[in-house]
């Protein structure tokens, strides 16, 4: 078995990626094939003028059909598991510092598919805005991969459940698990978009929480923040994404990984360069991360654990900020679109962190359209996508408009009837209300049979308590908040809590 102390020991992908050249890792040449069809040039220019004069969130604008990708934004969450072998390896590493290196490796591996893979064969296009309640379900079948030392690693099935939990503002929630490997990811992401001179700036709101159960019986949680995006090449139609700012991963075991995304200089230099560090900070003994909550724990015990977890989170954030300038244990650098390295500061040893060109992304398995529910992404948008593939942009626009009009009609019906809409798979758990009772959806709502939360969190097998027990999250007395039927959720629903998975433990329907 590969040693956890060897930084270079990362499993190879199931199959090698096609050979590509690093010098091709640049935005598409504006003189090459253009994304804008000649017959739509004038419409595109008018759209750019509209962008430049618009002062609100650009998600409210209607995008011309020829600029649509044919994929729902909700489906982009698959990239959290482009390399399930990297995710599955994390729990076996007992040293928390080395485990943070493995978490950082997995995180960097998610960026290529999320923000660059589509530019390798064309240009970035706009995904569909998911409708309220839209769902995307998929899985990565069990597979065996080979480690660099020749040993084999069996990767059990990995499951993903996604749901659009808010439409205005747009928020998508996701839950990824590999229960056999004792690792779980729960999070949500929203977008705020604005036009900036010649580009579009996208602020990603939300968070992701990776929960790991190492063999020693402890629970380690990793709180992940998301980078900001800049969509460049808008004036030429050759669109590509550049990451900006910073993102961090903070672990409950006392380690902080920080990533800084460096913009391309005006003269020379490269796109998509980043640098990062991994360092330690002190977590007070009385605020250390609690073990996973037991479904049989008493009410007072659950409340104490919830309060302790809340204090621990605040203490860790303060400690991480205080120790940010401390000497790092590891440094990272390279290009998140191609290859990067990690260096052990103590020994000076440098090893590969991740190589997007050498490690192919694994494609998940999705149920055939005939077996999907009407709100599952690929079935919902199937007609629109087919028109886009055939270049029938007028028909695609009509199909997309029909879906959006139907959603507006549903919102009006719910508002008129006083109905409360609630997600099927997720409930919002607030950070600052640990002592409150949970909300229960109105009878007959879409989530009525799946979501029933109370202060004890032990009402049903599919309650938050059951999900928490399986994922190690100690949130048993936090409040669940349902989104109003009008879909006018406040920004607090992305920044002040977590859209927590409450569905079947292994991602089934």
Q: Which two tokens stand for residue 382?
A: 């199937």
Tokens, residue 428:
């919002």
Residue 33 reports pLDDT greater than 70: no
Span 183-202, average pLDDT: 88
Residues in the chain: 509
Band (269; pLDDT cuts 50, 70, 90):
confident
pLDDT at 457: 27
Residue 217, pLDDT score: 85
Q: How far apart are CA 98 and CA 3, in angstroms?
A: 11
pLDDT of amino acid 442: 27
| pTM to 2 decimal places | 0.78
Structure tokens at 124: 């970035």
Q: Pick the most confident of 133-137, 239-243, 437-441.
A: 133-137
**Residue 26, token pair as written in the block:** 């640049």
pLDDT at residue 418 tops 80: yes
Model confidence at 121, pLDDT cuts 50, 70, 90, reads low
Please give the pLDDT value at position 34: 52
46 C-beta neighbours (distance < 10 Å), count: 12
Residue corresponding to tokens 């000076």: 348
Report pLDDT digits (tens) over 368-384. Answer: 999 999 999 999 999 99
What pLDDT does 326 receive? 64
pLDDT of residue 285: 56
Cis status of the peptide bond prior to 169, with omega within 30 of 0: yes
3-state secondary structure 171-189: EEEEEEEEHHHCEEEEEEE
Q: Extract the runs of DSSP E, i.e. beta strands, from 41-92.
A: 68-72
Q: Using CA atoms, how far apart are residues 266 and 277, in angstroms rounded to an integer?
A: 26
The pLDDT mean for the chain works out to 75
β-strand partners of 105: none
Q: What count of other Cβ atoms lies within 10 Å of the Cβ of residue 318?
A: 11
Distance CA 463, CA 483 (A): 18
Q: Which of 45-54, 357-366, 444-453 has the lowest mean pLDDT?
A: 444-453
């Amino acid at each position: 078995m590969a040693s956890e102390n060897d930084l270079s020991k990362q499993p190879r992908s199931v199959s090698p990626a096609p050979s590509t050249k690093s010098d091709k890792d640049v935005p598409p040449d504006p003189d090459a094939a253009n994304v804008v069809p000649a017959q739509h040039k004038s419409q595109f220019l008018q759209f750019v003028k509209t962008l430049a004069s618009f002062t609100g969130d650009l998600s409210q604008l209607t995008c011309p059909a020829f600029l649509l990708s044919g994929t729902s934004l909700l489906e982009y969450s698959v990239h959290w598991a482009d390399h399930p072998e990297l995710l599955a390896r994390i729990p076996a590493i007992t040293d928390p510092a080395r485990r943070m290196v493995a978490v950082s490796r997995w995180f960097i591996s998610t960026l290529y598919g999320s923000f660059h893979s589509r530019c390798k064969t064309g240009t970035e296009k706009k995904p569909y805005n998911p409708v309220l309640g839209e769902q995307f379900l998929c899985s990565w079948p069990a597979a065996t991969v080979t480690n660099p030392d020749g040993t084999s690693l069996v990767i059990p099935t990995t499951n993903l459940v996604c749901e659009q939990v808010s439409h205005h503002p747009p928020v998508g929630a996701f839950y990824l698990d590999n229960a056999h490997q004792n690792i779980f990811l729960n999070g949500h992401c929203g977008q705020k978009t604005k036009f900036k001179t010649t580009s579009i700036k996208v602020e990603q709101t939300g968070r992701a929480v990776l929960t790991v159960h190492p063999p020693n019986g402890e629970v380690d949680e990793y709180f992940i923040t998301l980078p900001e995006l800049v969509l460049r090449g808008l004036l030429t139609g050759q669109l590509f994404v550049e990451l900006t700012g910073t993102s961090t991963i903070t672990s409950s075991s006392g380690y902080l990984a920080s990533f800084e995304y460096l913009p391309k200089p005006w003269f020379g230099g490269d796109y998509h360069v980043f640098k990062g560090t991994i360092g330690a900070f002190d977590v007070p003994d009385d605020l250390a991360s609690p073990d996973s909550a037991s479904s049989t724990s008493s009410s007072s015990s659950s409340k104490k654990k919830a309060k302790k977890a809340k204090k621990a989170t605040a203490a860790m954030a303060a400690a991480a900020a205080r120790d940010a300038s401390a000497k790092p244990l590891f440094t990272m650098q390279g290009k998140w679109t191609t290859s990067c390295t990690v260096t052990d500061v103590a020994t000076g040893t440098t090893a590969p962190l991740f190589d997007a060109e050498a490690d192919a992304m694994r494609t998940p398995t999705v149920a055939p359209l005939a077996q999907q529910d009407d709100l599952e992404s690929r079935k919902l948008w199937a007609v629109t996508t087919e028109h886009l593939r055939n270049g029938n942009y007028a028909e695609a626009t009509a199909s997309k408009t029909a879906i959006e009009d139907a959603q507006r009609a549903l919102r009006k019906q719910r508002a008129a009837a006083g109905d409360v809409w609630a997600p099927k798979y997720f409930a919002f758990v607030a950070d600052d209300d640990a002592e409150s009772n949970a909300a229960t959806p109105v009878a007959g709502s879409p989530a009525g049979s799946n979501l029933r939360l109370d202060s004890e969190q032990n009402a049903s097998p599919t309650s938050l308590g059951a999900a928490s027990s399986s994922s190690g999250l100690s949130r048993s007395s936090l409040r669940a908040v349902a989104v109003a039927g009008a879909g006018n959720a406040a920004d607090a629903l992305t920044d002040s809590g977590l859209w927590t998975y409450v569905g079947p433990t292994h991602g089934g329907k």
